[in-house]
Amino acid sequence: MTIRPSFCAAAAVLITGAAFAGIPPGYYDPAAGLTGMALQAALHGIIDNHRAISYEGIWQAFYTTDDIQPGNYVWDMYSDIPGGTPPYLYTLGDDEGGSASREGQGYNREHSWPKSWSGDQAPMNTDLFHIVPTDIYVNNRRGNYPYGEVAAPTWVSLNGSRLGPCSRPGYSGVAFEPIDAYKGDFARNYFYMATRYYTEDAGWPGSPMTDGSQLRQWAEDMLIAWHLADPVSTKELDRNEAVYAIQGNRNPFIDHPEYVLLMYDPLSVEDEGWMVASLEVEASPNPFSASVCVSFELASAGPVDVSVYDASGRLVDVVLDDAMLLPGVNSASWDGCGGQGGRLPPGVYFCVVEAAGASSSCRLLMLE
């Protein structure tokens, strides 16, 4: 059986223990075993009715949702250059608001899902899962244009974001294309919005990218591709926890990236043999340094596969391969080494257990 996880990628910050283990027990139980619209409806019920904040409260929220430490700098996805030197940095509070005639003159509150698409209605207009701090000038250039892919830009920002006619099939109007390193972030923000406001979009004007709260087909196809190409990062994991602390709800597509295909393209998941999880898997200690024990309970005897994948979805080790195990609680130990025997670098990994036609998984954090 082939499993294709697309999960957490390493980023420039370290995952804290609190951020790593933040999903409350049972939080996603109502969504277990569901696909398609049934899954979207269940997830909507889980994340609905969040604690809305005021528009002014967004400035304060940025101190925990979008800060780069040390330095109290703003994590601006429209100016950041991952692995390189950004053209400018903003200090939280000191550089907020105002106007700008060029880049580097301040940051403001970017509604990545523009307010005009929902009629500037509450609580969407202050929902932190789609509101991020960005350079004022770049934000203004983006305006309320859809995200897209731009082959022949008419303008390019200092970090490489592009504005111009969309080259993605299905839409040829003006679009804004963020850099590749953050496309998955924005895609998962949009999947959240389509799910959080599912059936709650009466009066939303929509846009070339959206029909009410739902994605148009060209946008859905593009964002799924972005999601798969740019897996969840530690930045997103930490931000998910920070927003959860404020709003009381979570982004399911950060916690469970597999929900994207299960919701939008379940037939492709079934074609690959990726079964809906019904198997409880736990790991301890987690985070770990030397080794981690993965435990699971079987209802009946049978063959079990236990595999470990890295952040990009690449298989790095097979812990058990068709091992015949007895009913009850079983476990397997992983020492952090790859299939060739060498110690793997610290970071986020993903353990998948397959047994009796079901599969389940858990995230692992290996320390130095």
**Domain that includes residue 325, residue range:** 281-366
- Characterize 38-51 residue by residue with b for buried, 16 or more Cβ atoms within 10 angstroms of its Cβ, and e for exposed: ebbbbbbebbeebe
How does pLDDT run across 47-104, given as a tens digit for each residue?
Answer: 999 999 999 999 999 999 999 877 889 999 999 999 899 999 999 999 999 999 999 9
* pLDDT above 90 (res 241): yes
Residue 57 inside a domain? The answer is yes
Question: Which of 271, 304, 336 is the C-terminal boundary of a domain?
Answer: 271
Q: For residue range 160-211, list pLDDT tens digits in order.
A: 999 999 999 999 999 999 999 999 999 999 999 999 999 999 999 999 999 9
Which region among 12-16, 91-95, 151-155, 363-367 has the lowest average model confidence (pLDDT)?
12-16
Q: Are residues 104 and 249 in the same domain?
A: yes
196 & 329 share domain: no
Question: 247 and 301 in one domain?
Answer: no
Q: Is 52 exposed, middle or buried (0-12, 13-18, 19+ CB in 10 A)?
A: middle
List, as one string, the DSSP characters of 315-352: EEEEEEEEEEE-SEEEEEEE-SB-TTSPBPPSEEEEEE
Cβ-proximal residues to 82 (8 Å cutoff; 6+ apart), any chain: 11, 12, 181
Say yes or no: 123 and 37 in one domain.
yes
The span from the CA of 185 to the CA of 188, in Å, is 5
Domain count, the chain: 2
The last residue of one of the domains, among 233, 249, 271, is: 271
Identify whether 1 is part of a domain. Answer: no
Amino acid at 72: N
- Which residue's entry shows tokens 């099939």? 169
* Rounded Cα distance, 109 and 133, in Å: 5
User: Does one domain contain both 248 and 134?
Assistant: yes
* 260 lies in the same domain as 288: no
**Residue 264 CB neighbours (<10 A):** 21
Q: Are residues 339 and 193 both part of a single domain?
A: no
**Domain closes at, from 226, 241, 271:** 271
